[in-house]
Structure 1
C-alpha cells in the first residue's frame, strides 16, 4: 500500500509540546502525505489527578516486538522503550466503566485498563460516525483482495468488545477522514452527525482526534502485551494492523517500518501465515501487502519466508488475485540489495524461475480477468476495464513484478543502450497505465495500487509520448489521493532527463 520515493528515511524535526511539527524530508511511502506528527494533550491514564500529559506519536512508537521477547516467556513482555511497555501493576478485568447501562463515548474510556469486555462498547456522536466510516469506506483499503471482506465484516464486531482495537479503528478512520472529501457521501448519518462533520471535517480537529486515539490504542496494547491470555489474541494482530495502516497514511515512516516488523513477530508467535483460514489469513495478507511495498522502497527482502501450499493452477479466481502479492514479494526480493550480490549464474537462474512463475500465473487466469468492452479513443495507453477492481489491481501487480524481474535480470537488464527486453516492458506498461485510466476515483485501495505501480515502473519508459502520458496519470492520481506536498511528476521528469543524458554520453 505505499509509493517508493527517496531511498533514505526522512529526518524528523521533532515535536514541541502543544505544537505541530512537519518532517523536513518527504515521506518515502505514500508520497508527501500530510506528514505532521501531533503532540496531543490528554489526561494521564495512570494519574487520575487531571494533570495534562503530552503524548508524542513519534516517541511512543518504538519497536513493536523483537525476536528475543517472543522466545523468553509464554507471554510477550518488552520492557524499556518498546511501544508495548506498560505498568506491570495494571491488570485486565476492570470492566466497570463498560458495564454501565447507558451509552458512552469511546473518548471517555481513558482510564480503562481492560482488554476484552463483557458488554459491547456503545458509541456516541462523532465516534459512531467514524465507526461507520470505517465499515463502509476505510475497510476497503484492507479488503481489496479479501473476497470475504473480513475487515468490514468481522473486525468491527471484535472492536465493539475490545477497547484497544476500537481505539485503533477510530484512529485509522479519523485519519482517513481527515484527508479530504472523498468518502463523505458514501453513507448517511443523522443531522447532528452531519453538522459535526461539516464543522470539524475540514479542520485540524479530526486529525487531532485521530492522533489522540492512536496514542490511546498504543497505551492499551502496551498494557495487554504483558498478559499471556492476550498474546495469542487475534484482536492484538488486528489492532496492530490498523495501527500500521494509520502510520502508513499518516507518513510516520520510521514507526510504520517498525510496526511491520513487530507484526511479523506477533504472527510468527501465533503461527499465522498465508495458509491460515478466516480472519487470520486476511490479516496476514494485509500485512504482506504493507511489508512488500516497504521492502520495495528500502530495496530489502520481505520479512516473510512462507511458501504457498497450493499450486498456481489450482487457485480460484479470487485466490489468484491475492497470490500476486506473493509473486510481487518474491520479485522484490530479487531486486533487493541482498540478492543483487549473488553471482550472475544463480541470479539468472532465479530470474528465469520468477519469469516462469509469472507466466504460469497469467496462463491460469479464468475468463473473468479478460477486459470488458470500453470506448477509448486514446492512442497512448488506451484504457483497460477489468471488473472487479481486485482483479484489475492483480493484473497491475503482476505487470509490475514482470518489470522488476526483466529490468534486473543479468541477461535481460534494461540499460540505455540495450533495448532487447523493451517489448516485454512496453506490454507490461500498457497494462499498468491502461488499467489506471479506468480506476474509479473513489476506490482508495485501487488508486494506491495504481500510483505505486505507475511510479515504480516509470523508470522503464523511453518513448516521449508515453512518458508524457504517464506523467499526466501521476498528476491525476496525486490529486485524487490528496498528496500535495510532493510533485511526483518532477521526480520522474528528473529521471527521464538523467536517462536521456546517459544515453547521449554512451
Structure 2
C-alpha cells in the first residue's frame, strides 16, 4: 500500500516588528526582512549596500496639503502639515501617533569625504526636515577623495521634499513672484507680432490660440499630453523656429545630443505647457534684440502673457501624479528658469533656481543620470554657477562625479570643467572665505587639490583644444586666439575662470614669490579669456564668454585690457541680448571700489 505524499506545510512569515506589510522601507518589505525604519537609510539596507526607499503614493498627499503648498505665502513647517494630515487621517497607526506627539529631532551629521558619491537623501514624508550637514569640512585633506565636497550648509539646511511635493513648492514660488499685466486675459493668442518687417506695430492680443488655451479638465484625464500635434499660428511657428535655431544652443552647449534643439521641440508639439514655456522664452529673447534703426519686434508684454499661460497650465497639470516626474515638467522648469535669467529678475531667479534644485534632488537627478535629465541638470548647474558667482555664495548642487578624467570623452570633459568651476566658485564664496580664517592650513590643502584637479583636466583636454592664432586686431589689448568647436572654446575659458577664482582666494603663505606666481596666473588667465573672446562668434559660446570676461575684468589692473574687456562685453550683450543690464557698468563700479584686483573679491 503506497503512502500518500506528505503535505507541505506553508511557512508563515513572522508577525514581529519590521515584517509588517505597511511599515518599513520599500526594500525591506519586498525582501521580507526586519527594518528598523531609520532615516535616511535603515540598517538592513546599509549592511547590504542596497538603496533604501520610503515610498508614499501620490494619492497619500491630501488635498489639504496641496492647498497649503499652493496658496500659502509663508514657509511651511513640518508641524503644520502633520496637523493637517492628522485631522483628515482616520485611525492613524501608533507609529504615526508617536510622530505627532514627539517632534522630529534634528541631528547634525559631519559628512566625511569618503562618502559614496551619491549623497542625496531619500525621504518620502511630506516636508520632513532634512538633517543639517555641517560645513566645517570646508577645507579638505590632500587626498583623492578630497574633491568630493558635500552639500554646503546654505543648501542642505531647510527642507527635503518628496518627488510629489517639490514641483508644487517650486510652482508656489513662481506664483508669488509672477506679476501679470493689468489687462491680461487668459487664453488670448498673440498673433499680432509682425513677421513681415513692420516692427513698428505694437503687439496686441488677437484671437484664441490652440496653444494658449488651457484645458480646464486636464487634471481629470490620465495623460498630460494631447493626441496629435498642437496647431501653431504663423507667428508662433516663427517663435518656435527662433528657439530651435538660437536659444536652444545655449542649453545644448555641452550636450552631445543637442536635445533641446531636437527632441524637446518635438515633445512640445504634444504638451501645451512645454510649448508655452518655449514661446515665452523665445518672445522674451526677441524683445531684447534691438535694431538701431527699429524698435524691438516683440514687446515684453507678449512674453509675460505666454509666461502666465505657462503657470496656469502647470497649476492644472500638476494634479496628474505622472506629470510630476515627467521629462516634460523638467524641461518646462528649466525653460522657465532660463526665461527668468534673461528677464533680469535676479531675486526671483535665485529663489527659483533653488526650487529647481528641490525637484532634481527629490528625483535623484544628477550629472550622470543620462538622457534628457542629465542635460537639464548640466544646463541648470551652469545657471546656478553664474548666480552663485554674482551672489558670492556656494553653489546649490553637492553631487560629486564618479568617473576619472581618463574615462571621459570631449563632451564629458567639457562638463567636468563646468563642475570644477562650481567647486572653485564655492571655494571663493564669502561663507568659505570667512570659515577659512579659522583653519588656513586646511584651506591651503583644498586649494592645492583643486589646482591639481584642474591641471589633470588640462592634460586630458589637450587633444581637443587646437589653438590657432588669429589675425591681430588693431588696437586690441589681447592676442586673438581661435579655438573650435564652440564647446571647446567655452571649456578653455571656463578653465581659466576657475584658475582666477583659485588665484584670488587661495591663502598666501610663502611671501613675495608666491604672490608673483599668483599674479602671473591671473595675467595668463585674463589674456586667454580675452583672446578667445575676440574670436568667439557662436551665440552659446558668447554666453559663457560674457561670464568669463566679467570675471577677468574684475581681476586685471591693466587699463588697456579693462577698456577692451568693456568693449567686448557690450559687443557680446548686443549679440545675445543677455544680460538686460550693462555688465561694463558693473565692472566700472567694481574698479572704482578697489585699486587692486586682488582685493576686489576677497
Q: Could you state the TM-score of these two structures normalised by the residue count of structure 2? A: 0.62
Assess if the C-alpha contact under 8 Å between 1:331 and 1:405 holds in 2: yes
Assess if the C-alpha contact under 8 Å between 1:64 and 1:82 holds in 2: no
2:482 match: secondary structure: coil
Cα displacement (A) at 1:414: 11
CA distance in 2: counterparts of 1:413 and 1:116, whole angstroms? 63
1:410 equivalent among 507, 515, 520: 507
Give the paired residue count: 409
Root mean square deviation of aligned Cα: 3.5
5 Å-filtered alignment, 1:347-366, equals 347-366=443-462
1:146 corresponds to: 255
Cα displacement (A) at 1:499: 3.6
2:266 corresponds to: 157
- Cα distance change on mapping 1:211 and 1:493 into 2, 3 Å: closer
5 Å-filtered alignment, 1:63-462, equals 68=127, 75-76=164-165, 78=168, 82-83=172-173, 105-114=209-218, 115-180=224-289, 202-204=297-299, 207-340=300-433, 341-342=435-436, 343-376=439-472, 380-411=477-508, 418-440=515-537, 443-462=538-557
What runs of 5+ residues in structure 2 fail to find an aligned partner? 1-69, 78-125, 129-158, 177-207, 219-223
What runs of 5+ residues in structure 1 fail to find an aligned partner? 1-58, 87-103, 183-197
What is the CA deviation profile of residues 175-213 of structure 1, one whole-angstrom value per residue up to 9, with x for unaligned ones? 11222268xxxxxxxxxxxxxxx9995252xx2221111
Cα displacement (A) at 1:72: 6.7
What is the CA deviation profile of residues 61-81 of structure 1, one whole-angstrom value per residue up to 9, with x for unaligned ones? 989999828867673274898
Cα displacement (A) at 1:303: 1.0
1:68 match: secondary structure: coil
CA distance in 2: counterparts of 1:105 and 1:482, whole angstroms? 28
- Cα distance change on mapping 1:264 and 1:61 into 2, 3 Å: farther
2:430 match: secondary structure: coil
CA distance in 1: counterparts of 2:264 and 2:390, whole angstroms? 29
CA distance in 1: counterparts of 2:540 and 2:255, whole angstroms? 12
Query: After the TM superposition, which of the residue ranges 419-428 and 273-282 deviates more from structure 2?
Result: 419-428
1:185 corresponds to: none
Cα displacement (A) at 1:402: 0.5
What is the CA deviation profile of residues 329-352 of structure 1, one whole-angstrom value per residue up to 9, with x for unaligned ones? 000110112211132111111111
2:417 match: secondary structure: helix
1:449 match: secondary structure: helix
What is the CA deviation profile of residues 73-118 of structure 1, one whole-angstrom value per residue up to 9, with x for unaligned ones? 67327489814779xxxxxxxxxxxxxxxxx834451444433212
State the structure with more CA Rg. 2
2:255 match: secondary structure: coil
2:50 corresponds to: none
Assess if the C-alpha contact under 8 Å between 1:381 and 1:433 holds in 2: yes
CA distance in 2: counterparts of 1:61 and 1:106, whole angstroms? 32
- Cα distance change on mapping 1:64 and 1:277 into 2, 3 Å: farther
CA distance in 2: counterparts of 1:502 and 1:291, whole angstroms? 24
5 Å-filtered alignment, 1:484-503, equals 486-500=581-595
- Cα distance change on mapping 1:137 and 1:106 into 2, 3 Å: farther
CA distance in 1: counterparts of 2:467 and 2:73, whole angstroms? 45
Assess if the C-alpha contact under 8 Å between 1:65 and 1:265 holds in 2: no
Cα displacement (A) at 1:500: 3.5
What is the CA deviation profile of residues 5-25 of structure 1, one whole-angstrom value per residue up to 9, with x for unaligned ones? xxxxxxxxxxxxxxxxxxxxx
Assess if the C-alpha contact under 8 Å between 1:454 and 1:470 holds in 2: yes
Q: Could you state the TM-score of these two structures normalised by the residue count of structure 1? A: 0.73
1:471 corresponds to: 566
- Cα distance change on mapping 1:130 and 1:493 into 2, 3 Å: closer
- Cα distance change on mapping 1:455 and 1:413 into 2, 3 Å: farther
- Cα distance change on mapping 1:346 and 1:199 into 2, 3 Å: closer
